[in-house]
Amino acid sequence: MRSRLHINLLHLWFAAIMSGVENLLADNIVDKDGAKVDWMSITGPGKILGLYYSAHWCPPCRGFTPNLAKWYKEMKEKDAGKNFEIIFVSSDSDQAAFDEYYKEMPWLALKFEERQAKVCVYISKIL
């Protein structure tokens, strides 16, 4: 019984975090063409959403991004990848750096002009 209670509390905690993330991100996610992405199409039961905090100026990030992109493309070709999405959350200092770096990524992104929301998302993950 105790473990069932623990699992239920964990689900409630996760739902609260996702609600906060939705409030911060839902209207600000774009695809590679800059088109707004419907939040409900990438979230919900059975869906996995990854937030990728990275920046053009970060050497370890620049080294990791190609590996993550390769893995992402391989996942998307499989059934398991249909319920999985990544959102790039930039720490770049200007739109040009964001645009150049985002060209290397096959996933979605938080609009650059909404990057201040990343601090709130990060804090909500910790709390």
Cα–Cα distance between 88 and 110 in angstroms, integer?
6
Whether the per-residue pLDDT at 75 is higher than 80: the answer is yes
Instruction: Map tokens 């499989």 to a residue.
Output: 78
Task: Count CB atoms within 10 A of the CB of residue 86.
Answer: 22
Instruction: Please answer whether residues 88 and 105 qualify as being in contact, where contact means their C-beta atoms are separated by less than 8 angstroms.
Output: yes
pLDDT for residue 4: 52
pTM for the full predicted model: 0.75
How confident is residue 51, by pLDDT bands cut at 50, 70 and 90?
confident
Domain 2-126 is of which CATH architecture? 3-Layer(aba) Sandwich (3.40)
Domain boundaries, the chain: 2-126
Torsion of CA 23, 42, 122, 9, to 10 degrees: 80
The span from the CA of 90 to the CA of 108, in Å, is 11
pLDDT at 121 over 60: no
Q: Which of 8-12, 40-44, 75-79, 105-109 is least confident?
A: 8-12
Identify the CA nearest to 72 among candidates 63, 81, 64.
Answer: 81
Structure tokens at 39: 């939040």
Which of 7-11, 18-22, 24-28 has the weakest average pLDDT?
Answer: 7-11
Report pLDDT for 10.
Answer: 43
Q: How confident is the model at residue 86 (pLDDT cuts 50, 70, 90)?
A: very high
Q: Which residues pair with 89 in a beta bridge?
A: 53
